[in-house]
Amino acid sequence: MKEIELKIEGMTCGHCERTVEEVIRDAGATGKADRVAAVAHITYDESTDQLAKIREAIEENGYSVKN
């Protein structure tokens, strides 16, 4: 398992945080979003394409991943 911090633009409320966290869970990873810091801390399986799926799903929900 690997931990990463993604910078995410567009989270403005608690619902936004929950949406990002749901996307992370749906991809099979764990994580916590923080709208104030504009980041998500994610633990994922680096032997799979989970991170790419997470990035894509976050952007499909209207947020921008900056790293």
For the chain, 67 residues long, the average pLDDT of each consecutive 10-residue run is: 97 98 96 98 95 96 96
Q: What is the pLDDT of residue 23?
A: 96
Query: For the chain, first and last CA: distance in Å?
Result: 19
Q: What is the pLDDT of residue 24?
A: 97
Given 3.30.460.10, 1.10.1750.10, 3.30.470.20, 3.30.70.100, which CATH number is that of 2-65? 3.30.70.100
Cα–Cα distance measured from residue 67 to residue 54, given in angstroms and rounded to the nearest whole number = 12
Sign of dihedral through CA atoms 52, 53, 58, 59?
positive
Q: Three-class SS of residue 60? A: helix
